[in-house]
Amino acid sequence: MGEKINFKSVGIKNNDKSLETIKNEKSLGFKTPLRFGTNSIFSMHTSLVDQIQDNLKNLILTNHGERLSRYDFGANLHPLCFEFSADDFDVQATTRIKTAVAKYMPFISLESFQTFIDRNNNEHIGKIRIRITYDIPLLSIRNKAIEVVLFIGG
């Protein structure tokens, strides 16, 4: 008791062969959904473009109030799904996504938005696929696309 412990030496043994792999791999963030990794506890992104795409997906799928200490984080699409109106959905969704991206990921340039509705012969429930095409001008990345699926009712 009373011995000073250096946190840098806690958790990894110096003779662990994976230590060199961990030091050489430039991890940028967790892959979501979380899954076990081979060189670390969780799988990690090592590509900046992949990390940005994962963050954009999470921003689009997050609803207001779900992120601790950032109430307005996210596109808040969940309420639109429960009060689904095919006439109004695209306008409301694009506005919400554009607002969230402008605030939290302003380095992304949104290019196009498409929706695909599948009700599976049921007028009360279904799913909607949203496909967003975007650019990352600072990285000279063009025409990247992301697709998210939401469930709708009404």
Query: What DSSP state is assigned to residue 120?
Result: T
Q: What is the pTM of this model?
A: 0.79
Angle, helix 89-104 to helix 48-61, in steps of 10 degrees: 130
Report the percentage of the chain scoring pLDDT > 90: 57
Quick: pLDDT tens for 115-143.
998 877 777 778 999 999 999 999 999 99
**Hey, is 7 helix, strand or coil?**
helix
| pLDDT value for 122 | 73
Average pLDDT over residues 87-91: 87
| pLDDT value for 62 | 96
Taking phi over 0 as left and psi of -120 to 50 as alpha, with beta for the rest, 120 belongs to: left
Q: Is the pLDDT of residue 45 over 60?
A: yes
Average pLDDT over residues 92-104: 95
Phi, psi of 58 (to 5 degrees): -65, -35
CA distance 137 to 147: 20
61 or 89: which leads in pLDDT: 61
Q: What does the DSSP assignment read for 22-87?
A: HHHS---EE-SS--B-SSSSB-EE--HHHHHHHHHHHHHH--TT-STT-TT-S---HHHHHT--TT
Cα 108 to chain centroid, rounded:
13
Quick: pLDDT tens for 11-44.
555 555 444 544 456 888 999 999 898 878 899 9
Q: Where are the domains of the chain?
A: 77-153
| pLDDT value for 76 | 95
